Amino acid sequence: MSAPVEIRYNGGGTIAPPPEETFVLNLGPQHPAAHGVLRILMRMDGEYIASSDIVIGYIHRMHEKMGENRIYAKFLPNTSRIDYLAAMHYTHAYVGAVERAAKIEVPLRAEYIRVIADELQRIASHLVGWGAWIMDLGGLTPILYAFEDRERILDLFEHICGARLTYCYYRFGGVCNDVDDEFLRGARDFVPYMRGRLKMYRDLVTDNIILRKRLEGIGIMDAEMCRRYGVTGPVLRGAGVAYDVRRAEPYSLYPKFQFDIPHFPQGDSMARYLVRMEEMEQSLRIIEQALDQIPAGPVMGKIPRVLKLPAGDYTYAVEAGRGRFMVRIVSDGKDTPWRLKLRTPCFGNLAPFEEASKGMILPDALALLGSLDLVIPDIDR
């Protein structure tokens, strides 16, 4: 291998002519493994990656700016569209920030419903991430099994809010519809069903020797590297750091529930894989506890007719499917925020790819890319 070659993409400009024996491989924005419009320019030395340059911004939709020029309630539907696979978490962070700022009391039943919906969403999100990742590795069947399970979760969500992907279910002060017995029964039935399915996935996929060979020791990102790039979520926990917003900055009712934070010290793709599988089990545990404790009562608190946040700087972070999602609202007392900042996890999770992929061969790099479980609109916002 020759020495790594520095290439930089200078905003639509040209790339310096390649030195001998290396070439630039343009991966994306329509590559099957890019899961959307991610583009990576890879300087290849044979099949080895000498250096890579990530080009993002193809699906930038100015969510932050949109939040700043409309009233608070009108931005609610946007929050489901940032990371469409973990829409509940994103809405949670936004309504949480507004509630914290306006000091709105949320009824207990609504908080329980939020926890149940959050954890169901986490399972659904991990299932898609898992299936799509295995598909990147060439296993074409698991994704359809994952979608079958996810379908049950989506049916439950459809039952409570009518939507299957972009929910807008949480509102300032609660949730928009109360859950009925059918939902609670469905959620309760889902827990043992999903436990059985997770066992099957362990036998069918996790213990498969080909999968283990493809993931073990591949794409090592240690805790130090993760910290430098601001990596959060399952990727960080796969590097052995037990950082989970649900514990580190407790929100909603999470302090009430018992759950572990799965973390594995290896820092390779397999560790990130195992973290996600374990997390689904932990989510089931939380759902079970929440279903046992859920009280009766209202699901909507008192909210002012015209919502104006007092001047100040408010943040609210949640553990979204892919890591720490934080909403920061800077208000100057008007009915629109002066500044709305969305801290999305995928942006930070993608950042170390350039460094971690150096010297890898292409299939390994794509296994690493899959292990980051990226949602491209979440990066570009």
Partner 1 sequence: MIEYFISGPGSAYTRLVIYLVAFMAFVGLNAAYLVLAERKGAGWFQRRPGPNEAGPAGILQPIADGIKLIAKQVFVPPGVDGILFRLAPALVLMPAFMCLATIPYAETIYGRNINVGLLMVFSFGSITVFCLMLGGWASRNKYAVISAARVVSQNIAYEIPMLLVVLTVLMLTGTMDMQKIVQQQAGGFWNWNILRGVWTLHNPLVPVTFVIFFICMLAETNRAPFDMAEAESELIAGAMTEYSGFSWGLFFMGEYANIVVSCSVATVLFLGGWQSPIGILSGGAWGLIWFFLKLYLVIFTVIWVRWTFPRTQFYGLLNLSWKILIPISLGTLLLSSALIKIL
Part in contact with partner 1 (CB under 8 A); list of ranges 58-66, 134-142, 186-194, 277-285:
134-142
CB of 199 to partner 1, least distance (A): 17
DSSP string, 125-172: HHHHHHHHHHHHTT--SHHHHHHHHHHHHHHHHHHHHS-SSS---EET
Cβ-based nearer residue to partner 1, 303 or 361 = 361
Report strand pairing: 48-55 vs 170-171.
unpaired
Instruction: Determine, following the binding rule CB under 8 A, whether residue 214 of this chain makes contact with partner 1.
Output: yes
Q: Which of 18, 31, 159, 335 binds partner 1 (CB under 8 A)?
A: 31
Helix (H, G, I), strand (E, B) or coil at 42: strand
Residue 48 CA to residue 373 CA, distance in Å, equals: 22
Should residue 373 be labelled a site residue for partner 1 when binding is judged by CB under 8 A?
no
Stretch that binds partner 1, among 93-101, 266-274, 328-336, 358-366 (CB under 8 A): 358-366
Per rule CB under 8 A, is residue 376 in the interface with partner 1? Answer: no
Q: How far apart are CA 261 and CA 282, in angstroms?
A: 8
Instruction: Point out which span in 107-115, 116-124, 203-211, 284-292 binds partner 1 (CB under 8 A).
Output: 203-211
Piece of the chain touching partner 1 by CB under 8 A; list 159-167, 224-232, 246-254, 360-368? 360-368
Other residues' Cβ atoms within 10 Å of the Cβ of residue 80: 22
x/- mask, partner 1, residues 266-285, rule CB under 8 A, reads: --------------------
- 134 counts as binding partner 1 under rule CB under 8 A: yes
Residue from 139, 240, 301, 359 binding partner 1 (CB under 8 A): 139
Q: What interhelical angle do 181-201 and 142-161 show, nearest 10?
A: 170
Residue 140 as a binder of partner 1 (CB under 8 A): the answer is: yes
Distance of closest approach, residue 49 Cβ to partner 1, in angstroms: 12
The CB density around residue 155, as the number of other CB atoms within 10 Å, is 13
Cα–Cα dist 234/373, whole Å: 9
For 182-227, the DSSP string reads HHHHHHHHHHHHHHHHHHHHIIIIIT-HHHHHHHTTSS---HHHHH
The Cβ of residue 183 has, within 10 Å, a number of other Cβ atoms equal to: 19
Element holding 49 (H helix, E strand)? strand 48-55
DSSP string, 236-254: HHTTT----HHHHS--TTG
Q: Which stretch binds partner 1 (CB under 8 A): 30-38, 153-161, 219-227, 339-347?
A: 30-38
- Contact between 41 and partner 1 by CB under 8 A: the answer reads no
Q: Please pick, from the candidates 5, 15, 25, 191, the single residue that binds partner 1 as defined by CB under 8 A.
A: 25
Q: Which of 90, 94, 112, 145 binds partner 1 (CB under 8 A)?
A: 145
When the beta carbons of 102 and 127 are compared against partner 1, the nearer one is: 127
Task: Give the binding-site size for partner 1 (rule: CB under 8 A).
Answer: 31
Residue 361: strand pairing partners? 48
Please report how close the Cβ of residue 301 comes to partner 1 at its closest, in angstroms: 43
Between CA 69 and CA 340 the distance in angstroms is 10
Strand order in the sheet with 39-45: 23-27, 39-45, 48-55
Here's the x/- map for partner 1, 147-176, by CB under 8 A: it reads as -x----------------------------
How far is the C-alpha of 52 from the C-alpha of 40, rounded, in Å?
A: 7
Residues that bind partner 1 (CB under 8 A): 23, 25, 31-33, 44, 47, 134-141, 144-145, 148, 204-205, 208, 210-211, 213-214, 361-364, 366-367
